[in-house]
Amino acid sequence: MPSMEAPPQAAAQDRDSDYKLMKKAVDEAYRAVDSGDGGPFGAVIVRDGAVLVSCHNLVLKNTDPSAHAEVTAIRQACKRLGKLDLSDCEIYSSCEPCAMCLGLICASKIKKVVYGAKAEAAVAAGFDASVPDAFVEYYRKSGIEIRQVEGEAARIAEKVFEKAWEIPDEAMRRRRGGEWFEKAKGMVKCSRFCCLWN
């Protein structure tokens, strides 16, 4: 029986593509923090091998706890295409999507999710982004392909959390006011039930 594995050249091209798309998602995550728009999360939706939309977390900018990077990207992609069915699209997320984002990915019929950092990396940095095992199992059964990128692409995604609070301190204090920033920072570290910043 012939091997189902991709030829080495095709596998290398997939890794290169993964890296470029994850780098774009990670750049969006830094943009979210730099601008004070939200937490360090970014997402890119791809259709027919081309980037359709590139978005970041807008929770703070929009005062909307649902404005996660993946949600924002899906909203923009649906609007751009004029349809709700994104079954011909893939999503690249800088971090493993939370339960809410996975739910919307399923509702929009996206069949492939590629993420950079594991949810544990976000949790270790003070963000409540864990996904219960029951949700993971449910979405695996739904037929959605969910996988983490490999190598350097995963490392650059994890680095976002190392700098998450170094980058925005002064910028966010100037844009939002010092008292607001400290309160928001505390909310992230205390939140237990809502992935407010993912």
With 0-12 / 13-18 / 19 or more C-beta atoms within 10 angstroms meaning exposed / middle / buried, residue 162 is: exposed
Is pLDDT of 88 > 90?
Answer: yes
Per annotation, catalytic residue among 28, 70, 90, 158: 70
Q: Of all helices (H) and strands (E), which one includes residue 74? A: helix 69-81
User: What pTM does this model have?
Assistant: 0.78
* Per-residue pLDDT tens digits for 107-159: 999 999 999 999 888 888 777 666 667 766 777 778 889 999 999 999 999 99
How many angstroms separate the CA atoms of 130 and 194, rounded? 9
The pLDDT of residue 192 is 31
70 given a catalytic annotation: yes
How many angstroms separate the CA atoms of 135 and 98, rounded? 9
Structure-block tokens of residue 68: 């996660």
